[in-house]
Chains A and B, each alone.
Chain A
Amino acid sequence: EIVLTQSPDFQSVTPKEKITVTCRASQDIGTSLHWYQQKPDQSPKLLIRYASQSFSGVPSRFRGSGSGTEFTLTINSLEAEDAATYYCHQSSSFPVTFGQGSRLEIK
């Protein structure tokens, strides 16, 4: 089973800052890596698929990059509504797995 490790687990930032979340895979997964945003008491929502493809309707400040074993989610010019937990998800290998989550607090 492929293990995804996200960092940091938590960060607290102010609006308009830029942040990055890293997801490292225990083995090469190509670009079969997706990012989701989960706000408190809501279902996850797809942000980025296949490492860098923005999902329909997702604001352009959300960017994904990477391949192989290291991936990055970047959020530019943070807004208050971006407070959430972000999860990476690999679909390269059975069973699909998720990272442990990275919680973002907006001060």
Chain B
Amino acid sequence: QVHLVQSGAEVRKPGASVKVSCKASADTFSNYLIHWVRQAPGQGLEWMGVFNPGAASTSYPHSFQGRVTMTRDTSANIVYMELRSLRSEDTAIYYCAVTLTTLTTNFDFWGQGTLVTVSS
């Protein structure tokens, strides 16, 4: 089992950026994929993209391209998700989730979530 621990809640003004972290419990996450999924209040789940720590590669859906960046701190087993040009519609809980192998595509475990509130 892999535990994912995310950073705490954030409040930002429209137009600002936010950077959320996700720390994995595993000794190494080189074989994992880290996804980011968000959930607006009372709404469903929306995939924001995936980061491959082993290859330092990313894949983002068109809806977030140009506005999201996923990076890593390998020594600390931490992956970051930065979202820019925030608007009120970005108010949501942001989750990281792990796919434990590059051969499967389900999300095995999820972080506890980070609430990001965008308000003037």
Residues in A lying within 8 Å of B, measured CB to CB: 32, 34, 36, 43-46, 49-50, 55, 87, 89, 91, 94-101
> Quick check: B45 and A44 within 8 Å, CB to CB?
yes
Across-interface contacts of A98 in B (CB, < 8 A): 44-47
CB of A33 to closest CB in B, whole Å? 9
- Lowest 5 A-B CB distances belong to which pairs? A91-B105, A95-B61, A49-B106, A43-B110, A34-B106
Across-interface contacts of A100 in B (CB, < 8 A): 44
Within 8 A of A (CB), among B96-120: 97, 104-113
10 additional A-B pairs beyond A95-B47, A96-B105, A100-B44, beta carbons within 8 Å, are A32-B105, A34-B106, A36-B107, A46-B108, A49-B106, A89-B106, A89-B107, A98-B46, A101-B44, A101-B45
Residues in B lying within 8 Å of A, measured CB to CB: 44-47, 59, 61-63, 95, 97, 104-113
Majority DSSP secondary structure for residues of B touching A: loop
> Quick check: B110 and A97 within 8 Å, CB to CB?
no
Report 22 cross-chain contacts, Cβ distance below 8 Å, ordered by A residue. Answer: A32-B105, A34-B105, A34-B107, A36-B107, A43-B112, A44-B45, A44-B97, A49-B104, A49-B106, A50-B104, A55-B108, A87-B44, A89-B45, A91-B105, A95-B61, A95-B62, A96-B47, A97-B47, A98-B45, A98-B47, A99-B44, A100-B44
Among candidates A91, A95, A99, residue contacting B106 with C-beta atoms closer than 8 Å: A91
Majority DSSP secondary structure for residues of A touching B: loop
> Quick check: B106 and A87 within 8 Å, CB to CB?
no
Q: How far is the CA of A45 from the CA of B106 in the complex (A)?
A: 11
> Quick check: A87 and B105 within 8 Å, CB to CB?
no
Q: What residue of chain B has the Cβ atom nearest to residue A6's Cβ?
A: B44
